């Protein structure tokens, strides 16, 4: 709790010094843009893996790559061009579709030894997992 009170007191101290407050704002903005660029790289990698894996629909991989490219363009556009207008408000669709795919379809998928042994044992995946866990 003391750590957060020191943070609040430090932030309130900036109210008296506009130059220091502006430096803190610029620092936050720079860190935010770097974070967006890294998140864009992350989405590119996730999109590539989703495209290649085989159990995620390929169009989701493509949408995630488009979203990653949108974040990269926004991040570098903000850094390189003054007055840059973002395109991320249009490219985020892949993220939202992937979230709902994971919640709806991805939760029902089984892979690995559970799926392979499911047919042999004649058990649903949850029962097979409990049976194999208890035999160890």
Q: Are the beta carbons of 63 and 92 closer than 8 angstroms?
A: no
- pLDDT computed for residue 136 by the predictor: 44
- pLDDT computed for residue 68 by the predictor: 95
- pLDDT computed for residue 25 by the predictor: 81
For residue 122, count CB atoms less than 10 angstroms from its CB and return exposed for 0-12, middle for 13-18, buried for 19 or more. exposed
Q: Write out the residue range of the structural domain in which residue 10 sits.
A: 2-104
Eight-class DSSP state of 82: T
pLDDT per position as a tens digit, 87-121: 878 888 889 999 999 999 877 776 666 555 555 55
Same domain, 82 and 122: no
Same domain, 90 and 133: no
Same domain, 121 and 88: no
**pTM for the full predicted model:** 0.67
- pLDDT computed for residue 87 by the predictor: 82
Same domain, 82 and 61: yes
Residue ranges of the chain whose pLDDT lies below 50: 128-131, 134-136
């Amino acid at each position: 709790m003391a750590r957060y009170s020191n943070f609040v007191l430090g932030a309130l101290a900036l109210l008296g010094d506009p130059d220091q407050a502006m430096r803190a704002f610029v620092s936050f903005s720079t860190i935010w843009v770097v974070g967006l660029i890294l998140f864009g790289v992350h989405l590119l990698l996730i999109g590539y893996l989703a495209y290649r894996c085989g159990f995620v629909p390929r169009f989701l991989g493509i949408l995630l790559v488009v979203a990653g490219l949108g974040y990269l363009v926004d991040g570098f556009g903000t850094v390189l061009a003054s007055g840059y207008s973002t395109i991320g408000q249009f490219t985020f669709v892949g993220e939202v579709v992937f979230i709902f795919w994971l919640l709806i379809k991805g939760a029902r998928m089984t892979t690995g030894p559970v799926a392979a042994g499911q047919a042999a044992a004649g058990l649903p995946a949850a029962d097979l997992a409990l049976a194999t866990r208890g035999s160890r």
